[in-house]
């Protein structure tokens, strides 16, 4: 595969102080100051996995996709350019801001900002969660996953699968396609629906069911909105619940995610989201025919 992991997620937010408190008191992620007044959240030995940029509006700023080495990075840039995509190579200052050896920026066919990089910096200090949990499942599997709305699935697959080397893991109801770039079942999921760019949710994985349960209790203690009850997904087997981030989008917080064995894996289709649980806990408006779903639950309805 070309891309090896979701290295980091960049978010724009007008609620950076709320995010800092939320990350530490609810998610269990330590925060520190980064360049250009950013706040960086840690999940493991890396300097950061989530970057918060102060802005007037909240939303996804970019996804940072990791490549393993210089030769792969250079070959991928050339392949993208040959396919007609505009790719800009970052200078030394921007590479230093991201803490990487080399960085390229581009947009995917739906207009999402992407960063390709290799050679990330490790943190100086060992990772310690801010709450009594055993820690996150990141490392070579990356920061978790992101779920995006795209207007044209085939166009998106031609980009992510054919140019960046992702592989299709499975599909839900013909509308959601799950893509992997390492043994994690998916690092990216795409929802085909009309409408503007939209980040449905991100997922972070922790090491035990106790970690999930402790965080669910912490949500109750802090008044953090839980949007979907505890449950297990049919396709990636993740035991998780969903909570509302300060930016409004959902975060899936889970454990026991499925690993893919490339030698035996075959693509399947699913019509049920979960084997049990994952009951929506907040009202969701009905979506009229032709309107874009605002949640995956609506997309699966």
Asked whether residue 260 falls in the same domain as residue 169, the answer is yes
Helix residue spans in the chain (DSSP H)? 16-22, 70-82, 92-98, 153-160, 209-222, 296-300
| Average confidence (pLDDT) over 159-169 | 98
Asked whether residue 269 falls in the same domain as residue 226, the answer is yes
Q: Which residue has the tokens 């939209």?
A: 198
Asked whether residue 44 falls in the same domain as residue 76, the answer is yes
The per-residue DSSP string of 223-282 comes to: TPPEEEEEEEETTT--EEEEEE-TTSSEEEEEE-PPBP-TTT---EEES-SEEEE--B-S
Q: What is the pLDDT of residues 147-157, one digit of tens each?
A: 999 999 999 99
Q: Which domain holds residue 102?
A: 3-118
Number of domains in the chain: 2
Does 127 fall in a domain? no
User: What pLDDT score was predicted for residue 131?
Assistant: 97
CB 54 within 8 A of CB 92: no
Which pair of structure tokens corresponds to residue 6? 């979701």
Does 258 fall in a domain? yes
Asked whether residue 112 falls in the same domain as residue 148, the answer is no
How far apart (Å, rounded) are the C-alpha atoms in residues 220 and 238?
Answer: 21
Pairing mode, if any, of strands 59-67 and 50-54? unpaired
Asked whether residue 69 falls in the same domain as residue 200, the answer is no
Does 172 fall in a domain? yes
How far apart (Å, rounded) are the C-alpha atoms in residues 17 and 101?
Answer: 30
Does 125 fall in a domain? no
CATH number of the CATH domain containing 96: 3.10.180.10
Asked whether residue 82 falls in the same domain as residue 204, the answer is no
Q: What is the pLDDT of residues 207-262, one digit of tens each?
A: 999 999 999 999 999 999 999 999 999 999 999 999 999 999 999 999 999 999 99
Boundary residue ending a domain (118, 153, 172): 118
End-to-end CA distance of the chain: 33
Which pair of structure tokens corresponds to residue 62? 């970019």
Q: What is the pLDDT of residues 171-207, one digit of tens each?
A: 998 789 999 999 999 999 999 999 999 999 999 999 9
Asked whether residue 149 falls in the same domain as residue 277, the answer is yes
């Amino acid at each position: 595969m070309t891309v090896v992991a979701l290295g980091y997620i960049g978010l724009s937010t007008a609620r950076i102080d709320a995010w800092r408190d939320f990350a530490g008191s609810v998610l269990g992620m330590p925060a520190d100051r980064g360049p250009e007044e950013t706040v960086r959240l840690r999940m493991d030995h890396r300097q950061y996995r989530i970057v918060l940029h102060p802005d007037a509006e909240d939303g996804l700023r970019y996804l940072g996709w990791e490549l393993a080495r210089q030769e792969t990075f250079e070959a991928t840039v050339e392949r993208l350019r040959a396919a007609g995509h505009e790719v800009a190579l970052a200078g030394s200052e921007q590479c230093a801001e991201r803490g990487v050896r080399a960085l390229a920026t581009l947009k995917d066919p739906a207009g999402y900002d992407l960063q390709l990089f290799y050679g990330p910096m490790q943190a100086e200090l060992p990772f310690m969660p801010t709450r009594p949990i055993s820690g996150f499942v990141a490392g070579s599997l990356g920061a978790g996953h992101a779920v995006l709305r795209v207007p044209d699935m085939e166009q998106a697959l031609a980009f992510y699968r054919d140019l960046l080397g992702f592989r299709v893991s499975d599909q839900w109801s013909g509308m959601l396609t799950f893509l992997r770039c390492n043994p994690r079942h998916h690092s990216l999921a795409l929802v085909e629906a009309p409408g503007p760019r939209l980040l449905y949710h991100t997922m972070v994985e922790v090491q035990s069911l106790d970690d999930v349960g402790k965080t669910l209790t912490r949500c109750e203690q802090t008044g953090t909105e839980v949007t979907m009850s505890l449950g297990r997904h049919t396709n990636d087997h993740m035991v998780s619940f969903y909570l509302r981030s300060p930016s409004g989008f959902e975060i899936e917080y889970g454990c026991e995610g499925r690993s893919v064995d490339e030698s035996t894996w075959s693509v399947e289709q699913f019509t049920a989201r979960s084997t049990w649980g994952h009951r929506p806990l907040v009202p969701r408006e009905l979506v009229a025919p032709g309107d874009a779903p605002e949640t995956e639950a609506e997309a699966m309805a």
